[in-house]
Amino acid sequence: MPKREETSCQECGDKLNGRRDKKFCDVSCRNAFNNTLNIEKAGIVRRINNYLRKNRLILKDLKARYPEKRACNVHRSQLTDSGFRFDFYTSSYTTKQGNVYFFNYEFGFMELEEDRIVIVENIDEKKRA
């Protein structure tokens, strides 16, 4: 019978005895390993959710300055100066004309020429909530 290759615990590095597919020496090592993985994943999700929440708040505040209008037109710098992250959004919508709106929950924006941005509020999303 060929000699089995020795394996070690993925958490503490101790030599493993028993089943060939064993990865951890005991329950506490398995829990510690998985907790470390979950903390890293949760941190990424938390950071992305914070970006999305901040983007939504910025769009909401700018749109609130013009409550009577369906859409408001602002300069790109108004968003970037507030910390807006254009690469984080929850959905996008392409109109029949080919215009693309990027949404952060119910507030959307579309880039125009000359660094202008149009901000809209999706009334349908607001009614569903």
| Mean pLDDT on 3-24 | 86
Residue 3 lies in a domain: no
Q: Which residue has the tokens 């660094």?
A: 115
Residue 14 lies in a domain: no
| Gap between the Cα atoms of 82 and 76, Å rounded | 10
- Residue 49 is encoded by which pair of tokens? 């959710």
Domain that holds residue 33: 27-128
Residue 80 lies in a domain: yes
Number of domains in the chain: 1
Largest CA distance in the chain: 82
| Gap between the Cα atoms of 62 and 17, Å rounded | 63
- Residue 44 is encoded by which pair of tokens? 């990424």
Residue 34 lies in a domain: yes
pLDDT digits (tens, 9 = 90+) for 39-50: 877 888 899 999
Residue 17 lies in a domain: no
DSSP string, 62-77: HHHTSTTSSEEEEEHH
pLDDT at 123: 64
Lowest mean pLDDT among 31-45, 53-67, 106-120: 31-45
| Mean pLDDT on 98-113 | 95
pLDDT at 95: 92
| Mean pLDDT on 86-103 | 95
Residue 8 lies in a domain: no
Residue 10 lies in a domain: no
Residue 98 lies in a domain: yes
pLDDT-derived band at 119, boundaries 50, 70, 90: very high
